[in-house]
Structure formats: structure tokens, C-alpha cells
Amino acid sequence: MAEKLLELNNLKTSFRIKDDYYAAVDEVSLTVNKNEILAIVGESGCGKSALAFSIMGLHTRAKIEGDILFKGNNLAKMSPSEINKIRGKDIGFIFQDPLTSLNPLMEIKDQIGETLLLHNKNMSKTQRYERVLDLLNKVGIPRAEHVMNQFPHELSGGMRQRVVIAMAIANKPELLIADEPTTALDVTIQSQILELINKLKNEMDSGIILITHDLGVVAEMADRVAVMYAGQIVEIADVKTLFENPLHPYTKSLLNSVPNANEEQDKLHVIQGIVPSLQNLPREGCRFADRIPWVDESEHDKHPELNEIEPGHHVRCSCYKHFSFPDESKEGQHVLS
């Protein structure tokens, strides 16, 4: 049995808009084990990043309910100073946009050094800079002894993302959260960065939460996958099962909308509509129902819950049972020509 690193129980993150709270993350329960990559996929605005920020306690104005158990300690109940001891040390965070996530006025060595400084009070300055040099070499930055004295604006996007990663892994964290680490980078750099993350995972034996909307990345990297829709997890399974036997209509739609190079296609599948905004979320019933209007209402559960269909494979709502896509040659309205 794999060792449990992080366990979320009914996590709910709500934001206050006017006088009401709206949940951006709702009823999320999942686990991350050691030396495992859990991918979280979903459309923009489905709550992936909100979930990641909740785990780190990075939301400044959110109400967080439920438990975030990290090695048995509940992060959700910790005081800011307690959580500061864990952030950057036991949990590393890789941000989405390397161009904006570095302080423009600090030299690289001091930005990475800050993570070391905050968690290793006894480290001397020389030791710290030596370690920074090590880290830069580890993440594959050429001429590291030169780069460490540079400022962020002197580096390219790919280099900056490597610096962000070096910062996240500086204290050998047991859990690494990567929030769309490759979205802002071009494709060649993407695969290098992903390779790097994979290599580091094996070296440090850490658990990784990889947030992405790129199914190609998921297939390549993940051990298990959680599919999120409108703040909820709709399906969770190991990567092989998910790609071979997707069950939830949303997962199917997602996989269906990836263009396939082998088949001849003149039309790209798209999912009708958009993710509802926070204020317009359906408060009860299946949240995906509006986007598959051809499915009869009776197919959906009244209070959809995540059910275990087979060991390790959970699906929300029962609408998956008789789900099929309508004949596309007739239904022109949800197909983009």
C-alpha cells in the first residue's frame, strides 16, 4: 500500500460576493501518495487553481471548510505562522506564469536563497549560495554561476520557469504542487520542463499534484487523474483506466474534443456552452446537465455523489450509465465547423 501524503476531506473553498458565499471548490476529497503524480484536469475556471491555492493557504479572502490533512496534520486549522513553516519546506509550489512570478528587483540567488533562508536558520550565506548553485545546476540552467547573479528580466521564459522550479524544490519538499507549469511556455520547452519534474519526483520520492488542462501532458506524466468540473471532482481514476474507459460525460467530452491525427476529421468536437460562473453555478443536481441537454433529466441524480464504480475508479452522478453523444451530422449546433 502506497504511503498517504495528502488527504483532502470534503474540501470547500468559498468566496464572498456581496453578501453570499459561493463555492469555487466543492466537496473535493482526494488523496496523494508518495512518489505519485496526481493530475487534476478541467477547463479554465473549473476551480483547479483555487483547489491548489486552498491546499497552500494562499487565498487571502476565502472561507475554507473541510480537512486538508498533510501527513496527518490539518493545514486548514493551522495559524499563519504554523503554515509558514510548512510552505516552501514540506510543500513546494510551482506557479503558472514564470514571467510574473519572480520578483523583478531581486537577484536570482536571493530569490532562491530566500526559501533556504526562511527554513534553515543556521545556514551561512556561503552555504546558501552554494546550495543555490547546486539547485540551478540540478534544474539544468547553463552557466549557473553567472545566472545566479542576474535579474529575472535577463532570463528567458523557460529559464525563469526553471528558476521557479528550483525555488519550489529548494528544501526537498515531500509534496510538490505544479499549477499549470508549462502553460506559458512553448512546446519544446514544455517537454523539457515536464521531464525535469518527472526526474525530480523520482529523486526526491515526493508526491506531485499536477494541474493542467493539457490531456497530452496528463497521459504522459500522471499516475492517477482527477477530472474537475465546476468546482467538483466528477471522475477520478488511474491514468490507464481514465483514457481507456472514461465514464463521466464530461470526461468523455473532454477526450472527444482532442483532435486525433490518425482519424480523418473535418470537424472539431466542442463541448456546448461554457463553465458557469461562480454565481451561476447550479446549487443542486448534476452540474454538467446544462451542457448535455439531450440527456433526459431523469438520468441525473438529485444529489450527485462520487461513487466508486470499480476499485480506484470514482464517478459522480449516474448520468454516465446511458450516455452517448448525439449523431453529429444532424446536431450541428454543438459542433464547430
Partner 1 sequence: MWKFSVRRTLIMIPQIFLLSILIFVLAQLMPGDALSGTVDPNVDPERLDEIREQMGWNDPWHEQYARWMGGVLQGDLGQSFRFKMPVTELIGQRIVNSFWLSVATLILTYLIAIPLGITSGRYSDTFRDQLITGYTYVGFATPLFIFALVMLWIFGFQLGWFPTSGSVEPGVEPGTFNYFMSKVYHLLLPALSMALITTYGTIQYLRNEIIDTKQKDFILTARAKGASESRVYNRHIFRNSLLPIAAFFGFEITNLIGGSIFIENIFGYPGMGQLLVESISLRDYTVLTAVTLIFGVASILGALLSDIILSIVDPRIRIK
Residues that bind partner 1 (CB under 8 A): 56, 58, 80-81, 84-89, 92-93, 95, 97, 100-105, 114-115, 118-119, 151, 153, 164, 167-168
Q: How far is the CB of 14 from partner 1 (least distance, A)?
A: 20
Q: DSSP for 72-93, please give it.
A: TEEGGG--HHHHHHHBTTTEEE
Beta carbon nearer to partner 1, 102 or 306? 102
Cβ(97)–Cβ(157) below 8 Å: no
Nearest distance from C-beta of residue 17 to partner 1, angstroms: 15
Pick between residue 117 and residue 281 the one whose CB is nearest to partner 1.
117
Beta strands in the chain (DSSP E): 4-17, 20-33, 37-41, 62-70, 73-74, 91-94, 175-179, 207-212, 224-229, 232-238, 268-269, 306-310, 313-316, 335-336
- How does DSSP assign 111-165, residue by residue? HHHHHHHHH-TT--HHHHHHHHHHHHHHTT-TTHHHHTTS-GGGS-HHHHHHHHH
Smallest gap, in angstroms, from Cβ of residue 60 to partner 1?
Answer: 9
State in angstroms the smallest separation of the CB of 16 from partner 1: 13
DSSP-derived 3-state class of residue 7: strand
Q: Which is nearer to partner 1, 136 or 225 (CB)?
A: 136
Of 71 and 313, CB closest to partner 1: 71
* Closer Cβ to partner 1, 44 or 100, answer by number: 100
In sequence order, what are the residues at sequence separation of 6 or more whose Cβ sits closer than 8 angstroms to the Cβ of residue 147? 108, 136, 141, 155, 159
In the complex with partner 1, which residue's Cβ is closer, 164 or 194? Answer: 164
DSSP, collapsed to helix, strand or coil, labels residue 303 as: coil
Q: How far is the CB of 307 from partner 1 (least distance, A)?
A: 35
Residues in the chain: 337
Give the DSSP letter of residue 44.
T
Choose between 83 and 196: whose C-beta lies nearer to partner 1. Answer: 83
Q: Could you tell me the smallest distance in angstroms from the CB atom of residue 18 to partner 1?
A: 15
**Quick check: helix, strand or coil at residue 271?**
coil
Closest distance to partner 1 from the beta carbon of 328 (Å): 41
* Contact between 189 and 248 (Cβ < 8 Å): no
